[in-house]
Amino acid sequence: MTYIFANWKMYLSYQEVRELSIALSQEDFDEKKLKITVFPNTINFSDVARVFAGRSFAVGAQNVGWTPQGAYTGAVSALLFQQAGAKYALVGHSERRYIFNEDNEAVHKKMEACLVEGIIPVLCIGETAEDLKEQKREYRIKKQLSKALEGLNLKGKEIIVAYEPVWAISAGGKGTPCTPADADNVHGWIKNELKQYTKQNVPILYGGSVDSKNVLSYVEQGMIDGVLVGSASTKLDEFVKLVRRVESL
């Protein structure tokens, strides 16, 4: 089983999200081979969930609030997303951490909120270019994992981890993808590290400048269970090509 998760971020207009989801929902992908999930913005979320209902796609939240209900202006809780049909939620994406100052404590609370509400959290981790330069990659990732997971009751709960080196993410322009061998190596030790938190097998996805041309070089590696795609997932032809390539394996 290969995971292909599409993070549409805030790239598209309201109308473009509607059109892309309707066009994608007309494609049939092999559900025995692929788990495809789309993460639209919050405004389009319910609409996209309706478009994909009964199709071979799940929908997920790009971010969740950690309190279920109450006087929290501007927040949208994991509970609300669950009620609107979210199966997954991204938690701790680097754009939330570094642009919106989300700290490890907030990430932990969001993980907990997802588990309580029955949403599968996709914990996003990854080092910055500076961490890499200072040889702090392992330190950063282990810290992000421990802060997010320590103290959570993961028994019988599904979680996913996405390894997204911040320096590899394309922010509008072109990113520098992590080499598949390097990513595979990091995934290997993340898998090992996760054993202290849960007995379950945790799928680990790679994210950072994945496109239809390089996707196979990642998913063919032994430790990479799938991909979290940003920019390339927002263009219909490119994304369909990417998915078909993985499906052909």
Residues annotated as part of the active site: 93, 164
Q: How far is the CB of 166 from ligand 13P (least distance, A)?
A: 9
Residues of span 123-152 touching ligand 13P by CB under 6 A = none
104-127 b/e (C-beta count within 10 Å ≥ 16 → b): eebbbbbbbbbbebebbbbbbbbb
Q: Which is nearer to ligand 13P, 95 or 117 (CB)?
A: 95
Greatest CA separation for the chain: 49
Q: Contact with ligand 13P (CB under 6 A): which of 2, 3, 7, 161? A: 7
Give the nearest residue (CB) to ligand 13P. Answer: 230
Q: Which of 34, 61, 119, 169: binder of ligand 13P (CB under 6 A)?
A: 169
Q: Is 192 exposed, middle or buried (0-12, 13-18, 19+ CB in 10 A)?
A: exposed
Say what angle helices 236-247 and 14-25 make with each other, to 10 degrees.
30
CB of 163 to ligand 13P, least distance (A): 11
229 binds ligand 13P (CB under 6 A): yes
Choices 43-51, 134-142, 152-160, 230-238; region in contact with ligand 13P by CB under 6 A? 230-238
Q: Hey, what's the torsion of the CAs at 47, 49, 54, 59, to 10 degrees?
A: 150
Please name the residues in contact with 223: beta carbons below 8 A apart, sequence gap of 6 or more: 184, 185, 187, 188, 191, 204
Residue 81 Cβ vs ligand 13P, minimum distance, rounded to whole Å: 17
Distance CA 232, CA 171 (A): 12
66-95 footprint of ligand 13P as x/- string (CB under 6 A) = ---------------------------x--
Q: What are phi and psi of 226, to 5 degrees?
A: 165, -170
**Binding segment toward ligand 13P, per CB under 6 A, in 105-113, 183-191, 201-209, 240-248:** 201-209
Positions that interact with ligand 13P (CB under 6 A): 7, 93, 164, 169-170, 175, 207-210, 228-232
